Structure 1
Amino acid sequence: MIAALAASLGVSANDPTFWIPLVFMGLLFLLIAGGVVLDGFDIGVGMLLPLAPAHERGRMMGLLSPWRDANEFWPLLGIGLCAAAFPLSWGVVFGRLYGPLALMALGLMLRSVSFEFRIRARAETKPRWIFGFCLGSLATAFGQGLILGRIATGYQTASGYGWFTVLIGLCVVAAYGLLGAAWLVMRVDGDLQRRAARWARHAIRWTAVGMVGTSVMLGLANAGIFYKWSNPGGLATVVGVWAVMLLCFSFVEMLLVRVPRHESAYHWLPFVLCVVLIWLMLAGLAYSLFPYLILDDMTLWDGTASIESMRLVLSAAVVGAPVVLIFNLWAYRSVFGKERRS
């Protein structure tokens, strides 16, 4: 497949002008997937704050403290890498996604400011910053959902597609809520854990609606994607992925039902299965869109910088990536552990 793709571009698969953009796209996918999961539970917990009792909200934000700095790293590095590797795509991307991207950026800024100010605020003003963190989390999640909806509809602007985009935005909010609630089920015990299990059970249904809706719209809105899925090789892949996703949804639901009534050593499993679901969805989206940055408009190779610039950025990534990886492994080393109450 790779050799045929290179031949269609008139280059060899060993030519740096062909494989370096692929390397950068792989790195960008890993950053997006890592950010959605590792920053995702942070966003999810933030959105769930108003549903928790007032005396638990400070505890929930305190649970996020060890990973806040690491979580802020993902979107910044992803944007920087995309800007450095694919500068020619920025005008097109911003032209079609400026609204959702602006909403997401405002949400990220509000979350960061609210989290830091809450730590230093007087007791009577802390609820305001907790509300700000919740509002920023909601804006970030909804902005990302609007981006997904716009991509799924092929950037079409008819009113029906607009309402579908809003629906997907709300479903992504639910997906982040599911991820945050599953993380709380894994991290805490007692009443907050039982509440989190109920929140997750409500959110999982809308998450499933969003995933199914995105998949159906991708196939209906673009004939090329429909053909990729419907040929014998693609159909087998799609059926296999959806079978795994159905099993994950079913197991998460069954495990969450048991949380209020049973102590279990497997309270980490719903979170892990939710991570698998999100990674499968992102992998399916990448498979559907490849090799385009902008579907049917701009490929990876159309949006790249000069090969000399990409070599320089890749050299910096080779040096910096191990440092970043070590930092994040250290920061997230206890993300699966139970809360330690002092």
Structure 2
Amino acid sequence: MSEADADTEPTESAAGRTEVWIEKYRPELLEDIKGHENIVPRLKRYVETDDLPNLMFAGPAGTGKTTAAVAIARELYDDDWRDNFLELNASDERGIDVVRDRIKNFARASFGGYDHRIIFLDEADALTSDAQSALRRTMEQFSHNTRFILSCNYSSQIIDPIQSRCAVFRFTELSDEAIEAQVREIAAEEGIETTDDGVEALVYAAAGDMRKAINGLQAAAVMGETVDEETVFTITATAHPEEVEAMVERAVAGDFTAARAGLEDLLTERGLAGGDVIDQLHRSAWEFDLEEKATVRLLERLGEVDYRITEGANERLQLEAMLASLALESGSESE
């Protein structure tokens, strides 16, 4: 279980206070983490032998990196884990002063009965190069009593001297089966009625992100008695796969006007952002009923559009240009 990007409405618990399900159902022990059968046993071995190296967890959001770090601290320190575990978010605290001050002060502080403490640096790939260099020196200076766990989306953004000091674990997107099992388990625990297509929609919208799936379930549960497909797609601002496929098929068939109308519906009626459309197109491209050559052209155009939008280009204009390009290529081939 894990981290995610989606926000959700809090619900009232039986005690009358609000609870966020991603925290309520966050695994406390390594053995409770789902979907990483190749990683969890290795981490458990470190804990059992009390021989923890510096660690680096790399992978997409919502795949369990923070959960694994906290679970390690809980198992090593039991009730004292909060006193021996410092969590910093590098995307909020990017400067070299954070490395020099907060990390060093924590590493120098006295602590009772344990060989080392843990510093967890989330989103470490957001650290500046100067901060990473300072962090490397700090890791060396306090190697006798401090262990570092670094979490990042892209390990390539971490300088080599830091990577070489860590055991690297790559967290991949969670399987559909792992997400479905967790969603059904939480729904049963909360007494929520779900339809099969509703669960399938949650799994599709999550795209390997456990926290996004749980947030979507909680938000959908607030909307009505039954969590079904339509509710999930509305709550998560996700288009039906069939709608996205139909838009692309019209463009490939040369009908730009109809394809553009489909795009307009996704952006205005369903409220998707351009990035959302690109993400759905990218992960569904090979599932569309298109010839291989058309799929390759689509992926090529998606790469161009994604780059241009990232550089600040207009989303709608770029997506329309992509559809126009697919339509024009179709017309030139038929001549």
TM-score under structure 2 normalisation?
0.27
Structure with bigger RCO (C-alpha 8 Å, 6+ apart): 1
Identify the structure with the greater strand proportion: 2
Identify the structure with the greater helix proportion: 1
TM-score under structure 1 normalisation?
0.27
